[in-house]
Amino acid sequence: MVTITEAEVLERLRGVEDPELHRSIVDLGMVRAIEIAGGRIAVDVRLTVQGCPLTQRIEREVKDAVGAMDGVGGPSVVDVHLGVMTPEELRAVGAKVRGGAGQAQGAAVPPSPFTSGELRTRVLIVASGKGGVGKSTVAANLGAALAAAGKSVGLLDADLYGFSIPRLVGLREAPRVITDGVIIPPEAAGMKVMSMGSLVEERQPVIWRGPMLSKLLSQFLGEVQWGEPDYLLVDSPPGTGDVAISLQGQLPKGWIVLVTTPQDLAVSVAARVSAMAARTGQRVAGVIENMAYLVCPHCGEETRVFAGDGGSALSSELGVPLLGRLPLMPALSAQGDQGTPAVLSAPGSAEARAFEALAQRVLALDEAKP
């Protein structure tokens, strides 16, 4: 007969992670007690919040981990008792997640884990010189296409004044605050998503000055538990204002993807973003020309809605790839209003194929430039 000790059970549980914080439940102090008696093993686990949506997953993984130990008769002999952490325990969790001794009220926001570029995450800052070129629609649909291709994706809506990502991806949940400095982002369209639109009513204006916006952006990057996604897409506000500057400072390893429409005016404005990137040492990874043409639904003929060949001209001027020429697609507008990206709402459609092809070019670009 094999004798199981509490220390052995605890060591086995070290391999079970909190699915939101991506840390071992042992290291986070979530395992309160272990009792071995009468051929059964009881594990007392304290959750970070009451009614945690992933309770069943945590319980199952604890049962499976302990039940697979030599001398244990499988998950059926493992009892998991679930409780909730005290405020003091939550503060300790927050300190461990942030990697420090805690965060006093009024303390500085912790630095973004993406700042150093040590994570394997590829940060793509989807930017434009002006509004109205479809930048947010491109960011949302490109992110959804990358997720559909099997990549883990975070989508940060940094357009803090003109947020539209929640509507575009059908985001209905608010982020969950575990404790000071530890925020769990909601998920939509297969992505972790964070937006000002999750914090205010959709039609409520954000009347903030630059320093407040920069601090909020720092919180979105430093306190939100993104994990280590394959891609973090950032929907940057148009132009070269306060938030765009803060993004460049906090995401120095980010790659900028410029979105423009064909006409010369949009191209000249988008070029200003490239000029700012050159000053801050960031890389422009490529150009996307949006609304390049309209396909007739009856005969299939392509019609240029805007004059110019801006995407090709801008990519040639900057010496970067033209990642795609996206047509003006009425169905895409309707899908955005409904909160369903094309690859999910209309698989196989022209708009879905367009973003799937764009995602493949982005994946190839990433492989070509480590």
SS3 per residue for the chain: CCCCCHHHHHHHHCCCECCCCCCECCCCCCEEEEEEECCEEEEEEEECCCCCCCHHHHHHHHHHHHHCCCCCCCHHHEEEEEEECCHHHHHHHHHHHHCCCCCCCCCCCCCCCCCCCCCCCEEEEEECCCCCCCHHHHHHHHHHHHHHCCCCEEEEECCCCCCCHHHHHCCCCCCEEEECCEEECCEECCEEEEEHHHCCCCCCCCCCCHHHHHHHHHHHHHCECCCCCCEEEEECCCCCCHHHHHHHHHCCCCEEEEEECCCHHHHHHHHHHHHHHHHHCCEEEEEEECCCCEECCCCCCEECCCCCCHHHHHHHHHCCCEEEECCECHHHHHHHHHCCCHHHHCCCCHHHHHHHHHHHHHHHHHHHCC
Mean pLDDT of the chain: 84
What pLDDT score was predicted for residue 51?
66
| pLDDT at 9 exceeding the cut of 70 | yes
Residue with tokens 């991506």: 22
Q: What pTM does this model have? A: 0.80
pLDDT at residue 13 greater than cutoff 50: yes
What is the percent of the chain where pLDDT is above 90? Answer: 32
318 pLDDT above the threshold of 50? yes
In whole angstroms, give the CA distance from residue 225 to residue 246: 20
Segment of 18-22, 143-147, 265-269 carrying the highest mean pLDDT: 143-147
Report pLDDT digits (tens) over 279-314. Answer: 777 889 999 999 888 877 777 777 787 777 778 888
- Domains defined for the chain, CATH in brackets: 6-98 (3.30.300.130), 122-368 (3.40.50.300)
More confident residue, 338 or 104: 338
The mean per-residue pLDDT over the stretch 43-70 comes to 86
User: pLDDT tens digits for 161-203?
Assistant: 778 899 999 988 888 888 777 888 999 999 999 988 877 666 6
pLDDT of residue 248: 76
In which order are the strands placed within the sheet that holds 40-47? 31-37, 40-47, 78-84
